[in-house]
Amino acid sequence: MSGHSEATGGMGGALDGILVADFSRVLAGPYATMLLADLGADVVKVERPGRGDDTRSWGPPYDADGTATYYLGINRNKRSVVLDLTDPAELAAARELARRADVVVQNFRPGTMERYGLGYADVAADNPDVVYCSITGFGSGPGADLPGYDLLAQAMGGLMSVTGARADEPVKAGVAVVDVITGLHATVGILAALRHRDVTGAGQHLEVNLLSSLLSMLVNQASGYVSAGVVPGILGNAHPSVVPYQLLPTADRPLAVAVGTDAQFVALCRVLGIPDTAEDARYARNAGRVRDRESLIATLSERTALLTADDLATALRAAGVPCGPVNDLAGAFDLATELGLDPVVEIDRPGRAWPDRQVANPIGLADTPPAYRRPAPRLGEHTAQVLAWLGTPQEPASPALRTAPTPLEENR
């Protein structure tokens, strides 16, 4: 399918013409399909009758219409169609949607889609160039029956073992980072598979899972274990390999200081009025600072506590030392706005006087930027439209419809 968005100056998005059948719910899958939708793909979100996506009820907070903001934040630019996969006629419609799709995304437990004739082998039999993405918690092998919740992945995958203030109090990250990074990996995999299809004409099945995504996300910590057998522990806000790279106290609020080089450490000590510390053999090189971090941080903290965070940050930045205060979300969005990053977009909802406010897509494409065609859909908002386009199972669509404009494009 194809279409054009006014938000891209009359140009189609980078993924214009790509139809995505989205059978995913909660976070990892919907986040991936929202990114695809922002980039121009036409995403049809298949939801169960009555309740829809679980996140529709995950609140508070709610917006002015009483809709859970969790759901709103990861489902814009999509169409919602309600299908009961236990109903033969509606299951046929779901299969027809998958047959026409360029991309199918699903995050049911392994085996579920196969029971409905919607697994990769079934879909590819009628749609051999489909890119089919399966998202699981712990893979499709022995871990297939483990529930794929972000909290469990953070705990079982080692993230909590390196997060927190004390070794006996592991802490999860303040957002479902494993779901998000898995969604990003799914998006990258889908784009790579689409490029492969462009070259060869062949589709393929790709799989991503929470555990593998987390292990990859642990980067230096995971590499330290794999390459050197080092099992890291909890260091709070400190860094295992770079010092000082953490929060330091000031007279009013903590300040994050990220000293990545020996030269920056010299500059830090000069600003704090303790140049002799930079010349101390224990601290002159990063390896020594890591080894003797406790005594060094105590010395630095005595000096940083004498200044306010703003005054210290101004002095350190002037000296070339990376630093910044700890902001809440209000402060973070204010900062992004001050820096001209336009972190918030407004999407008009027909029939309502006020727009939906959304976090902007962070990808800055010069010629085919992300577009915001519609807010997150109401449950089943596009069911009649999509079913009319799909037709009946006895009247299968021509394959040409997968790349030609269709009635679905009328409401882009």
Active site residues: 179
Strand (E) or helix (H) holding 153: helix 150-156
Instruction: Determine what percent of the chain falls in helix, strand and coil, rounding each to the nearest 5.
Output: 40, 15, 45
Q: Which amino acid is at 236?
A: G
Q: Which amino acid is at 203?
A: G
Q: Is there a contact between 113 and 23 (Cβ–Cβ < 8 Å)?
A: yes
**Where do the H-state alpha helices sit in 157-307?**
177-200, 210-217, 219-228, 262-271, 275-279, 286-291, 293-304
Residue 253: how many other CB atoms lie within 10 Å = 13
Look at the block and give the residue holding tokens 């297939």: 144
CA–CA distance, 101 with 245 (Å, rounded to integer): 47
CA–CA distance, 380 with 386 (Å, rounded to integer): 10
DSSP state of 152: H
Q: Is there a contact between 371 and 40 (Cβ–Cβ < 8 Å)?
A: yes
CA–CA distance, 347 with 369 (Å, rounded to integer): 16
Q: Which amino acid is at 278?
A: A
